[in-house]
Structure 1
Amino acid sequence: MQDLAAYSEMTIKQGSKSFAKAAMLFDRKTRQSVTMLYAWCRYCDDVIDGQTLGHGLQTLSLVQKVERLQLLQQETGRIVEGQSSDIPAFAALGHVVRKHGIAKRYLFELLEGFALDATEARFVTLNDTLHYCYHVAGVVGVMMAQIMGVKDQETVHRATDLGIAFQLTNIARDVVDDMRVGRCYLPQEWLLERNIPRDEIHLLQHRAGLHALACELVELAEQYYASARIGMSQLPWRCAWAVAGALLIYRDIGLQVRSADASAWDRRSEVSSRQKIWRLCQGGFVAVNAVRRKARVGLVPRAGLWTKTGVQVLVKK
């Protein structure tokens, strides 16, 4: 167990510096489960992209990606059935599944998101993009919520909203880099409205129009961040603190993209170490105020936000 915990801590520190800092705020047991789940998510994502901890993208054929996806599905199925694995990321997943009763459905919904990447799916409408955001990030929010002890469906929706907000921010930040490797998560309808050919996104002549679309994504993400803030009130305060810290750090990335105008992609938008520390401190105040209020999340409607039907926490008996 100690080896798996150390492996998971190493993975999160190298795979996501922002989330790693926020995860330090969880209590020890929660942090261990959170980092183990992250290690599995990171591993699966890397396998599909041919990367190592999010770096060093390889050129893989469609056939290779599909074959890799099938192997991930098979190994995940073995874990759900209670079998062991020699792959550290899957061994860590097994621990989380046993401890928190994570349902097979959510594990495979995440893999469905990676399948959209593996099969080079196109996103025609905003609904298509939000569907993708749910499968690669929103469903992670569902599983994280279960680790944190959430049992009511309304709060689970708020956790999903945070994952979607994170992914919308990522899309806005990485839209040019993604296109360089043949990926575009912006709705094609949006591109048509701005007369931006999908295959020309990376060209400088389209930067002004592209920045306008990125700003629309950032504004959309703001709605999901606001919803997620309401859900914090139902979390234990240490969990709320970690979540608030992560929210504030990731939100800063989107705000940087929005304020950078057409130069947004001249360099990768990042949050400095000093700013991260400040946001984590600020997150403590946000969390304390949220938990003190204990707002009834059901009284604040999620009007207009994308919702995956049937999402709920399945409590282990």
Structure 2
Amino acid sequence: MIKRKDDVTKLFSMYESDFALCEETIRNHSKSFYKAFSKLPKQKALSIFAIYSFCREADDSIDVYRDVDRLNKLKRELDDFLAGKIPDRYFWRALVPVFETYEMNQQSFYDMLLGQEMDWAFQQPETQTELEEYSYYVAGSVGLMLLPILSDRPDEIRSQAIQLGEAMQITNILRDIGEDYNNQRIYLPKEIMERFDVSLDSLEKGTINDSFIELWEYEATRAEQLYSKAQTMLASIHKDCQEALLLSIYFYKGILNSVRQSNYQCFNKRNFVKKSQQLELYQKAKNYLKTL
């Protein structure tokens, strides 16, 4: 582990071109995360960009390329990377100074890959518990990846980091119901659909009625509960990271409100937080942080 500031700065500068590609990746694929985390001190921001690029490759292996061999290759590369043999790809090279500087949670990287394997052999979750287990592997694991960069006490706030990832994943699911259905994936648990009398036929037709709204709000309320629990970790986050993390929470919670404002149209419209709303959330975050 490298601790001296000058040594860390020098190490990060050695991989400047690789970090530039990581930054381009997150800027192109997740404007909300980029806007939030680009406000971090440079080395912390670059570290998160590198982790995002690894996660992007894992996710794209299944969702874009539909290639489990590509995912398996990534897993072999992770084995090599952790053994000290650096694969020749930009995000692996960028992750070198990240792992040298921070005490990274190695298992969380494998858990992310397992989550993508679950998507490859996708089955609609039977229960809410199954949905949240899946959400851990594809998103809660990312929270654990980021914690060593954001806090000196990651073990104390492990559960909150997982809850944040799970909340974000449920938000993604609620935003993308129509898109996921077209890709032959229904992430809404069978037991919850039955409880609110929402059928597969109604999803196919994109029906937005009282039953659908009640189901949607049930899941949205669960996500908002998880966001609230996750927000309690802010006091254990580095001061220079608190605003970025809080913004990421507010931006993602804002997606839920955007869906509500569009009258729950999540079948043929991709909802997002508008710039005017982002400015309001920036001020809300600053006001909240004054209370810590």
- Asked if TM exceeds 0.5, the reply is yes
Letter paired with 1:241: E
- Asked if the contact 1:214–1:257 (Cα under 8 Å) also holds between the matched residues in 2, the reply is no
Letter paired with 1:211: I
Q: Let me know the Cα RMSD of the aligned residues.
A: 1.9
From 244, 253, 272, the counterpart of 2:274: 272
Identity %: 27
- Asked if the contact 2:206–2:267 (Cα under 8 Å) also holds between the matched residues in 1, the reply is no
**5+ unaligned residues in a row in structure 2: which ranges?**
1-14
Q: Tell me, in whole angstroms, the C-alpha distance in 1 between the residues paired with 2:109 and 2:94.
A: 13
Structure 1 residues 144-183: aligned runs within 5 Å: 144-183=146-185
Shift of residue 6, structure 1, vs aligned partner = 0.6
Shift of residue 85, structure 1, vs aligned partner = 1.5
Local SS of the residue matching 1:110: helix
Shift of residue 192, structure 1, vs aligned partner = 2.1
1:89 aligned residue: 91
Letter paired with 2:51: L
2:59 aligned residue: 45
Under a length normalisation based on structure 2, what TM-score does the superposition of the two structures give?
A: 0.88
2:105 aligned residue: 103
Judged with a 3 Å threshold, the aligned counterparts in structure 2 of structure 1 residues 103 and 235 are, in CA distance, closer, same or farther, namely closer
Note if 1:283 corresponds to 2:275. Answer: no
- Asked if the contact 1:134–1:163 (Cα under 8 Å) also holds between the matched residues in 2, the reply is yes
Shift of residue 144, structure 1, vs aligned partner = 0.8
From 18, 22, 29, the counterpart of 1:15: 29
Note the alpha carbon deviations across 1:172-209, whole angstroms, 9 max, x for none.
11111101101111111111223333465231346543
Local SS of the residue matching 1:86: coil
Shift of residue 225, structure 1, vs aligned partner = 0.9
Under a length normalisation based on structure 1, what TM-score does the superposition of the two structures give?
A: 0.82
Structure 1 residues 1-317: aligned runs within 5 Å: 1-50=15-64, 60=66, 65-198=67-200, 200-205=202-207, 207-290=209-292
Q: Tell me, in whole angstroms, the C-alpha distance in 2 between the residues paired with 1:211 and 1:287.
A: 33
**5+ unaligned residues in a row in structure 1: which ranges?**
51-57, 291-317
Q: Tell me, in whole angstroms, the C-alpha distance in 2 between the residues paired with 1:175 and 1:193.
A: 18
Local SS of the residue matching 2:86: coil
Q: Tell me, in whole angstroms, the C-alpha distance in 2 between the residues paired with 1:132 and 1:84.
A: 29
- Asked if the contact 1:249–1:276 (Cα under 8 Å) also holds between the matched residues in 2, the reply is yes
Letter paired with 2:147: A
- Asked if the contact 2:44–2:149 (Cα under 8 Å) also holds between the matched residues in 1, the reply is yes
More deviation in 75-84 or 14-23? 75-84
Letter paired with 1:257: V
Shift of residue 284, structure 1, vs aligned partner = 2.3
Shift of residue 266, structure 1, vs aligned partner = 4.3
Note the alpha carbon deviations across 1:110-138, whole angstroms, 9 max, x for none.
11111111111331000000001111111
Local SS of the residue matching 1:261: coil
Residues paired across the two proteins, number: 278
Q: Tell me, in whole angstroms, the C-alpha distance in 2 between the residues paired with 1:262 and 1:222.
A: 16
Judged with a 3 Å threshold, the aligned counterparts in structure 2 of structure 1 residues 199 and 39 are, in CA distance, closer, same or farther, namely farther
More deviation in 93-102 or 193-202? 193-202
- Asked if the contact 1:208–1:261 (Cα under 8 Å) also holds between the matched residues in 2, the reply is no
Shift of residue 81, structure 1, vs aligned partner = 1.0
Q: Tell me, in whole angstroms, the C-alpha distance in 2 between the residues paired with 1:225 and 1:185.
A: 19
- Asked if the contact 1:22–1:243 (Cα under 8 Å) also holds between the matched residues in 2, the reply is yes
- Asked if the contact 2:127–2:189 (Cα under 8 Å) also holds between the matched residues in 1, the reply is yes
